[in-house]
Structure 1
Amino acid sequence: MSTTQQTKACTCIDRLIAKVPAQADALLDIRLAMTGHGEPGQCVAAYFKLTKTLSGWHRQDLEELRSLLENRIQIEIVVEESNHRSRSCLSLGNNHDLSLYCEEKMKMAALQNKQSNRIFMGFCWAERV
């Protein structure tokens, strides 16, 4: 993540912490991970926790945070039989439940890989060239 992107992410997160200090733990988890000290899955889980607890008053801030996460994190699908790996953009949309979101992505992967018995999904940092 570039210095500019890190600054933008930290500014967004700091603004949310100031507005909703009760959510500081989840927001600090995202900040820590996005600055290179954590896993992308932590960011996604914390984001979903925030969407469940924050009211409409904070939607604009959440939209900015969502955009930052979508630009920085990808979904990785691994098909065990062929060890084929594919990545797609993280697209959180209006989803508010991590389990349902992952279930939907796994169903889509299963439809694309009908011959496979085992498909794995995870979150990874987007590769920047």
Structure 2
Amino acid sequence: MELTHDLSAKNGSYAYLVVPNLDLEGFKAFKPDFVIIENDKKAQVIAGKTDAILMMVVYQPTIIKAKSFPTLSFENPGIYILERKEDHWLASIADPTQKLTNVNWKIAGKTQVTLMPSSVNRGQTIQVKIPFY
């Protein structure tokens, strides 16, 4: 598969969606179950339409504000998923660079320092339960 970027687009004013196993008619009828919250040099963020999940790829330090979610602040690049559970948030965090020993971030103003896997486990996803604030 090859994706060609629109070189005339200004400030990331476009986005790609890759949907496997759909023919053209299926794709025309496809209704995404997410909304794009942010798509720029700092982060790419989507939220599920049920307001239960927020998925983020963070490239630079940034603050994420999304409806129905607490304000999030990230110091480190990484891949983050925040899921609303019955009595807590579940954060899934991954460092695809496999270079970080910990990830520093905030949820609703509360600082979180998440230790990342080391040695042969570098790059694996860590899950953290966080109480509702």
The alignment's TM-score, normalised by the length of structure 1, stands at 0.24
Larger relative contact order, structure 1 or 2 (CA cutoff 8 Å, min sep 6): 1
Specify which structure has the higher proportion of helix: 1
Larger Rg: 2
Specify which structure has the higher proportion of strand: 2
The alignment's TM-score, normalised by the length of structure 2, stands at 0.24
